[in-house]
Amino acid sequence: MSEQDLVERLLSWFAHHKRDLPWRREPRDPYRVWLAEVMLQQTQVATVIPYYERWLARFPTLEALAAAPLDEVLKLWEGLGYYARARHLHAAARAIVNKYGGRIPQTLPALLALPGIGRYTAGAVASLAFNADAPVLDGNVKRVLSRVYGLRAPKDAALWRLAQALLPPGRAGAFNEALMDLGSLVCLPRAPRCALCPLRERCAAFASGDPEAFPSRATKRTPPHHRVLTALIVDPDGCVLLGQRPIGGLLGGLWEFISSDLRADCVVDGQGTDQLKQMIMARAGLAVEHAEVKWLGEVKHAFTHFRITRYAWQVALPARRATEAAPNAYVALRWVMPAEVTNLALTRSDRKLWQIYQALSLPKGATTSL
């Protein structure tokens, strides 16, 4: 099977089996194509669709997104993970409004100059929205190309060259989506459906008898475990203190209860509170010597590359006191009424802590004094 035959077979298969996805509605809207491609990074289609629909209901145009405050953008993204994607979308929307009058640029260099847009996203937007002859290379495309050409440990640079060489002029968008759909529907990481594949006659991995061996998988490492000390600080009116995480870091821009990583030698058993007092002063500039303290428990959460355990205390102040965010800790501190807490973009583990706090009122348990 020649390369031209490969392309034609794949496009013919795609014409009959392509997925009906909301961002594929014709005519293509570049903003919606871009939004979908960003949301789909590291995230399954089934997870993305409801987020995509809610997002467009609130931000139907790029101009609406650019005009929104970052807090609202992050809140709408809450639960989708990889929050840098939302921050970059917001920043890029503002850049497009300011530099291009609200029209998404069509060339790869201009797209690549926008915040958060890499080679894959630029190629996807250019080919799918503007029919440019630009390749894409996501996980599905890498797997399909590696198997068809029998590449066990291919370098990305080689796969990019291969994807570019296969592009049919004027049909790059359909070809790119066909590769992605083939990888998603047929050429699966495990138990690929080779009997349904239009390329199996050309596929070196199929011919080997062990298609799952292509490409070879990296050995999984045990993800690191981080322990975090957390204080859910409450004033006499029931307001709670939240800190906004630094914009450029992990979970940047999200709000959390006052927290800090624990040293490896620290022991947390629900009894001692000295390190809690020190942490609150260091992170929020708040003295809590006479506060009433209650152990809330542990909350565990797994990220893609690491996991955390948060050791949480409720700290009830006799009176609200002045706070000062440590420069390396929080962008801002805010006292928030209970009814307003869930209106802010919180991390998932903070949302779990909030549920624990609401379920366990202070009078039900013994308290200790700091």
Q: Which two tokens stand for residue 69?
A: 């405050």
State the DSSP H helix or E strand holding residue 229, giving kind and residue range, or none if neither.
Answer: strand 225-234
Residue type, 125: V
Question: Assign residue 246 a region: left if phi > 0, alpha if psi is -120 to 50, beta otherwise?
Answer: beta
180 by DSSP, 3-state: which? helix
Q: Are 293 and 313 in contact (CB under 8 A)?
A: yes
Query: Which residues are the active-site residues?
Result: 37
Q: Which two tokens stand for residue 99?
A: 């530099």
Q: Which two tokens stand for residue 207?
A: 């011919």
Contacts 24+ apart (CB under 8 A), 153-159: 153/215, 153/216, 154/215
* Residue for token pair 């199929």: 206
For the chain, the distance separating the N- and C-terminal CA atoms, rounded to the nearest angstrom, is 76
Where are the alpha helices (H) located in the chain, listed in sequence order? 3-17, 30-39, 45-58, 62-67, 70-77, 84-100, 108-112, 119-130, 139-148, 156-166, 172-185, 204-208, 274-284, 338-341, 348-359
Classify the C-alpha dihedral 93-97-98-103 as positive or negative.
Answer: positive
Distance between CA 245 and CA 248 in Å, rounded?
9
Distance between CA 80 and CA 49 in Å, rounded?
11
